[in-house]
Amino acid sequence: MEYCERKIAESTQEEESLEAALVSVGDKNDEYLKLGLVVHELAYKSKEIYEKADVDAKRILLSQLFTNIVQDEYKIEPKYTKAADFLVNWIPKLNYDYELAKIGSNKAKDAVLAISSTNWLRG
């Protein structure tokens, strides 16, 4: 009887710790989601922000995109920050899907199929 009670207590404690860990992971996911939305909104408004900025502000904005720019004779290779690298890789995929949805929306029969097809996970 004592063995069973001890195992039940251990199981209950383990269950509570796993539930707490799950809540913690969910909170972090929400934070990353919010950060991703902010980065997307900033990227969407970047042209407008850049055009309104003075020279010093433009320098600061560019420093937020690049960590280093390497030049090898005539070849220039930028090293992006994590946020800029994310946008460089993600936005073309997002734009591709958006264009599919725009093209498909003119064709009533294919519109639902075009909008529901997600190519976001393709590499």
Report yes or no on 35 lying in a domain: yes
pTM of the predicted model, to two decimals? 0.44
For 29-40, how does the pLDDT look when each residue is reduced to its tens digit (9 = 90+)?
A: 677 778 777 777
Q: Are 43 and 87 in contact (CB under 8 A)?
A: yes
Report yes or no on 34 lying in a domain: yes
Report yes or no on 39 lying in a domain: yes
Q: Number of structural domains, the chain?
A: 1
Q: Are 99 and 84 in contact (CB under 8 A)?
A: no
Determine which of 12-16, 23-27, 80-84, 116-120 has the lowest per-residue pLDDT on average: 116-120
Report yes or no on 14 lying in a domain: yes
Report yes or no on 37 lying in a domain: yes
Report yes or no on 19 lying in a domain: yes
* CB neighbour list of residue 79: distance below 8 Å, 6 or more residues apart: 66, 67, 68, 69, 70
> Which range marks the domain in which residue 27 is found?
1-44
**How many Å apart are CA 68 and CA 76, to the nearest integer?**
11
